[in-house]
Amino acid sequence: MIVYDTQLRSRLLLGTSRYPSPAVLTEAVKASGTEVVTVSLRRESSSERSGQGFFSIIRSLGVRVLPNTAGCHSVKEAVTTAHMAREMFGTAWIKLEVIGDRTTLQPDVFGLVEAAKILCDDGFQVFPYTTEDLVVADKLLDAGCRVLMPWGAPIGSGQGLNNVPGLRAMRARFADVPLIVDAGLGVPSHAARALELGMDGVLINTAVARAGDPVTMARAFADAVKAGHSAFVAQPMLPSDVAIPSTPEIGLAHLV
């Protein structure tokens, strides 16, 4: 998968939040084989300095960092956060989230397009967290985005792919744009399904971090992503409404 001229061997991106411990996070990242982890920026206490310790862990992993603007509800918050992230992490990559609904964490696609335009014009390489809406996707591409991150289901819900026809339509419309399903996947079969549909990758966080054994689950997602992509490349058969015998009927013995 190539995103913003960067070749990634793994199609699995991994979030770094909600793990039982930093040690488990580290092992899960290694087991997943991912080359990209997402991180955020949060207020730093001068007495605790927890950010410093986390930053050391991330740097020790030797993977690329994709900072997010999670929790931002306005264009201004998201743009300012993106600028802070660019300085902090030394990358032009930004996973742009402009949240529009506190219950579903659905993106505010109007604010998203506006923020994407500002950031792309300023040299950022934007990974927009969006819906499967084709019109919004078009506008994000017009704004300068070269990757799209449609949701599978609400963030952290583990529901899987709630709109398969919508994702399929996105794939068909934007054949040359990397599509990475971000949010809502719960189990490896969801990831495999996304890749079978021709999605280029998936971003997983809660499904790994909150599993009983996050390290084994990270490995399971890595396997699922590989299997799903291989299946897509192999061109799956088309489903049929009726049974089609797999054993030839010609030559069947007449035994009545």
Active-site residues, by number, are: 95
Q: 6-7 and 180-182 as β-strands: parallel, antiparallel, unpaired? A: unpaired
Nearest C-alpha neighbor of 181 from the set 172, 249, 190, 173: 190
Quick check: 15 binds another protein (CB under 8 A)? yes
Contact call for residue 32 and another protein (CB under 8 A):
no
Q: Per-residue string for binding with another protein, 153-172, x by CB under 8 A?
A: --xx----------------
- How far from 48 is each of 15, 17, 35, 202, CA to CA, in Å? 23, 19, 29, 34
Please report how close the Cβ of residue 106 comes to another protein at its closest, in angstroms: 15
Candidates 39-47, 112-120, 168-176, 231-239; binding stretch for another protein (CB under 8 A): 39-47
46, two tokens: 């001068």
Phi, psi dihedral angles at 254 (to 5 degrees)? -90, 105
Q: Does 34 bind another protein (CB under 8 A)?
A: no
| Nearer of residues 149 and 232 to another protein, judged by Cβ | 149
Say if residues 180 and 215 touch (Cβ distance below 8 Å): no
Is 38 a residue that touches another protein (CB under 8 A)?
yes
173 touches another protein by CB under 8 A: no
The least CB distance from residue 250 to another protein, in Å, is: 56
Q: Which is nearer to another protein, 13 or 179 (CB)?
A: 13
Query: Residue 51 interacts with another protein (CB under 8 A)?
Result: yes
Query: Roughly what angle, to the nearest 10 degrees, separates helices 22-32 and 50-61?
Result: 20
**Separation CA 216–CA 247 (nearest Å):** 39
Rounded least distance, CB 23 to another protein, Å:
14
Gyration radius from the chain CA atoms: 20
Under 8 Å CB-to-CB from 52, ≥6 apart: which residues? none
134 binds another protein (CB under 8 A): no
Closest separation in Å from C-beta 16 to another protein? 5
Q: Which stretch binds another protein (CB under 8 A): 80-88, 141-149, 188-196, 217-225?
A: 80-88
Angle CA 218–223–229, to nearest 5: 125
Rounded CA-CA distance 24/30 in Å is 10
Q: In the complex, which residues of this chain contact another protein (CB under 8 A)?
A: 15-19, 25, 38-47, 49-52, 54-55, 58, 67-68, 70, 76-77, 80-81, 83-85, 87-89, 155-156, 183, 203, 205-206
